[in-house]
Every structure is written in C-alpha cells, then in structure tokens.
C-alpha cells in the first residue's frame, strides 16, 4: 500500500477503493492499539480542535501551521460529521498517522461513535459514496482504538470534551478500557462530552451526556495532577479559541465557517518548549473565481444540527 499516493488522492478529495480503506483502517488499528489512553507528547506541538469533515479547511490548517514535515500535531477529535468530506478528512489523518506516527496524535471525540455518525452525516456520506456501509464500519472500528487524551511535557492535558466527576487523576484515565463504543455515562463518556461553564459545581449537561464543570473543578484537577493547562475542543468558538478560568483551560476550534454558515474563524494552538502559547487563526477556504463553490457539493444536508 502506497501511503503517499493515497495522501495525494485524499488531498484532492478523490475516491479511494473500499479495499484500500479496509487495509488502511487495519494498519491504523495495529498502530493505535499500542498507544496509551493518554499519549505522551513532546513540545513543540500544535493542538487542533474539531475538524468536522471540512477537508479543504484541514488542508489550510496544515498550510498555516507548518505541516507534518516540520511540526508535531495533536488533534482533539470530531474529525467526522456535518461537513461534506468526513471520510477524506479522517482517512487523510490516518494516512498521516501511518506516515509520521510520532508526529501526529489522534484523540477520540464524541462524534467518533457508531450512534452519533448514523445521525449527523458520516454514515450517509459513506452510503452515498460507496452504496454500502462497509467503509463506515471499518472507520468505526478504528474509532474504538483512538486515545482518550494526551499530555504535553507533563504539563498540558489534552482532551476532547472535558473533566469527569469520576476522574481525579490522569492515571485513572489510563485504566479505562477504551476499546469500545462510547458508553452513555461514566468517565469515558464525560471526557468526550463535558463542557466548562460558569458553575459552582458539577451539573448535568444540557447536551444529554457529560457534565458542566467550573473553575473549582479545573483548579482542583490542575493542582492534583501538577499540570498548568487543560486544552480541549468540542464547543464552537466564534473567535477560534477561548481561554477560561485564569488561563487554566482553553477551548480550541479548528473548523472555520462551521457547517458552511456559522461565520466563525478557526484557530490552532502551538505550545513551544517553554510552554508558551501561540495561537494561529485562519478563515474558511473561499469559493474560486466567483463561480459557484467547488468545495461544497450541491447536495443539501438532511437537517440542521448543533449538538
């Protein structure tokens, strides 16, 4: 299997054969199963938020932030759903993982599940492109092997959603059996679904899964684990990133003009060797030559969704 050739095809949103996807997913599983629930990553590193199938904006992200030949990356999940190129976006990241295993860390988001992808676009996209659900099934099996978090230089904890009342230490995350569909409740669910908010204590999330947590919970987690920052994604931020709780937590969002209509800008966060933070913001790819938009297919998505 020629990974470089597949990367070239995916960057052009070209069709990949079902057999190739199967082989790619199998090799990715073999690689990912050896990674810890919380992957250790060295600086310098670029932390990226939700992508949501916006392939051309993902390519812009790499262009603006140096690319894998020069930089190390952590992606905080939600590679699929809502955008029109979920498959190409996810497979491209898998190819990069195979090509540069030490330069890219992929963390599971709440959309990397069978149940959510059946509702929010990825399953339908695969059915439209292949006429059957095999490729969707192969990708879902890879989802089960994605890490639940990462720790940068022992100081920056990276997760898709947030904290859990069932988790006090990062070591406790390492003991979770992650190789499964995400449960509807419990620690693994919370890590993928929870959100920071101006609350005094844990409260149930309006999303229907996970919790809302406030400054007290963040401060306790940082102190107990001797880390100085929680970097997470999961929530649309119009400015691309948002720091909260005296800089102890940051939300990074990397899908510009989310759902092709939200009008937001996107950002990535670079952490250097001194743990200094540098944000790079970027806008959505614009239509070419003013004639239509070659990036967005004419097929309208079936529903509006803002979970």
Which positions are annotated as active-site residues?
A: 111
Contact 248, 276 (CB under 8 A): no
> What is the rounded CA–CA span in Å between residue 241 and residue 252?
5
* Angle at CA of residue 121, ends 120 and 127, nearest 5°: 140
């Amino acid at each position: 299997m020629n990974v470089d050739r597949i990367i070239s095809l995916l960057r052009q949103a070209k069709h990949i054969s079902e057999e190739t996807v199967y082989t790619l997913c199998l090799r990715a599983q073999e690689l990912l199963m050896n990674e810890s629930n919380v992957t250790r990553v060295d600086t310098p590193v670029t932390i990226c938020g939700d992508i949501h199938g916006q392939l051309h904006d993902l390519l812009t992200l790499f262009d603006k932030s140096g690319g894998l030949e020069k930089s190390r990356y952590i992606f905080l999940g939600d590679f699929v759903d809502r955008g029109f190129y979920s498959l190409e976006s996810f497979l491209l990241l898998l190819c990069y993982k195979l090509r540069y295993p030490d330069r890219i860390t992929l963390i599971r988001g709440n959309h990397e599940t069978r149940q959510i992808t059946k509702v929010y676009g990825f399953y339908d996209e695969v059915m439209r492109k292949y006429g059957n659900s095999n490729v969707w099934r192969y990708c879902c099996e890879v989802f089960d092997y994605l890490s639940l978090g990462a720790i940068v230089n022992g100081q920056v904890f990276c997760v898709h959603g947030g904290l859990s009342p069932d988790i006090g230490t990062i070591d406790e995350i390492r003991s979770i059996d992650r190789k499964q569909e995400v449960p509807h409740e419990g620690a693994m669910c919370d890590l993928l679904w929870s959100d920071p908010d101006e609350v005094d204590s844990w409260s149930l999330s309006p999303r229907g899964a996970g919790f809302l947590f406030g400054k007290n919970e963040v401060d306790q987690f940082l102190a107990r684990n001797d880390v100085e920052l929680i970097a997470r994604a999961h929530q649309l931020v119009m400015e691309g990133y948002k720091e909260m709780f005296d800089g102890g937590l940051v939300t990074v969002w990397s899908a510009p003009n989310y759902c092709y209509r939200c009008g937001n800008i996107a950002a990535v966060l670079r952490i250097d060797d001194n743990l200094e933070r540098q944000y790079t913001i970027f806008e959505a790819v614009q239509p070419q030559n003013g004639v239509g938009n070659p990036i967005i297919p004419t097929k309208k998505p079936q529903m509006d969704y803002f979970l």
